[in-house]
Amino acid sequence: MVATARARTPKLPDVIGIGPPRTGSTWLHRVLEGRVDLPYRVKETQFFSNYYDRGIDWYARHFRYATGGRPIVEICPTYFFKTEALERIKVHIPNCRIVTTLRDPADRVYSVYKMLRHFGNVRSGTFDQVLKTWTNLAGGNRYAPILETWFESFGRENVLVTLYDELRAHPQSYLDRVTDFMGVERIALSARPEIGDDVHSFDRAPKNRRLARRAMTVIHWLKGHQAYGVVNLLERAGVWDFCHGRGEPYGRLTPEQEERLRERYLPEVEALEELLMIDLSAWKKPRARRVIEPSPARPLERLANG
């Protein structure tokens, strides 16, 4: 009877990477493939944010092939800002360990803008115009108070905070900290040349916004039915690139735009510095003047270890 009950216990993640979006989650997922048990045939389930009504067994099916000999992990950037996702994870996986990667707010908000346009979620318009009309986009970098809620729910020692700057400048150092936290043998990036150091980026707006939105509706429906094989097949065939790309290339932030964003997010950067007791002065400078040290997030490691 006990053995039967154990056999029915769903396999759920030991570690969840919660994002936020546009912080290298696709790169991290690719690196971890084959070293941890990830969701079957899909990068992120979005269960705790978008598909919770499907039930915990729907979620557990993504890990049905987990071997039990290594950590089960999901990397899903839609969870960071979602209070309901935090609460649901706490209910179903109370001892889950959390990984988050934080990015310079000015850079991240512009990257999110490009993503929203790429998928047809916002009408064509300049970055400044969209920033004025999309309040969630403009205010979506309140890292400190959001992190505090994750600390309170899962324990500060169970939440690893990393920096996107380190991922880009020193990916091996970044990866070592993540794998050490997960309890996974370190992965030598020099032995994985197919990975490279590129993160998923969006270079062009869609040629037809209506087509891009319809494509996202189809993707959402297919994922809701766990038809990931179809999603992946259409991706390899170039269908999603056809729907979401081919439009005008994105430019770069102008110095004036960057200056306004840095002034806008300065209080939030300073609040994060105080919470984590680290120096984020690089986030207060124009990108052209930055110097990234080999391990800028080492103080975070000490915090994670109590």
Whether 153 is covered by a domain: the verdict is yes
Identify the CA nearest to 303 among candidates 181, 185, 183, 146: 181
Whether 263 is covered by a domain: the verdict is no
| pLDDT surpassing 90 at residue 296 | no
What is residue 190's predicted lDDT score, i.e. its pLDDT?
84
| pLDDT surpassing 70 at residue 302 | no
CB count in 10 Å sphere of residue 239? 14
Mean pLDDT of the region 246-260:
83
What is residue 139's predicted lDDT score, i.e. its pLDDT?
65
What is residue 13's predicted lDDT score, i.e. its pLDDT?
96
Q: Which residue has the higher pLDDT, 30 or 194?
A: 30
Phi-psi category of residue 44: left, alpha or beta, with phi > 0 → left and psi -120 to 50 → alpha: beta
Whether 136 is covered by a domain: the verdict is no
Whether 113 is covered by a domain: the verdict is no
Whether 133 is covered by a domain: the verdict is no
What band does 200 get if pLDDT is binned at 50, 70 and 90? Answer: low
Q: What CATH number has the domain bearing residue 150?
A: 3.40.50.300
Classify 69 as helix, strand or coil.
Answer: coil
| pLDDT surpassing 80 at residue 295 | no
**Residue 25: HSE in the Cβ half-sphere, 13 Å Cα cutoff:** 24
Whether 260 is covered by a domain: the verdict is no
- Using CA atoms, how far apart are residues 103 and 99, in angstroms rounded to an integer? 13
Q: Over the chain, what is the mean pLDDT?
A: 84
Mean pLDDT of the region 73-88:
94
| pLDDT surpassing 90 at residue 87 | yes
Whether 158 is covered by a domain: the verdict is yes
Task: Write out the residue range of the structural domain in which residue 191 sits.
Answer: 2-103+141-199+284-304
Whether 34 is covered by a domain: the verdict is yes
SS3 sequence of 111-138: HHHHHHHHCCCCCCCCHHHHHHHCHHHH
Q: Which residue has the higher pLDDT, 167 or 112?
A: 167
CB 74 within 8 Å of CB 91: no
- Give this prediction's pTM: 0.85
Percent of the chain with pLDDT over 90: 44
Domain count along the chain: 1
What is residue 298's predicted lDDT score, i.e. its pLDDT?
45
| pLDDT surpassing 70 at residue 140 | no
Counting Cβ atoms within 10 Å, is residue 53 exposed (0-12), middle (13-18) or buried (19+)?
exposed
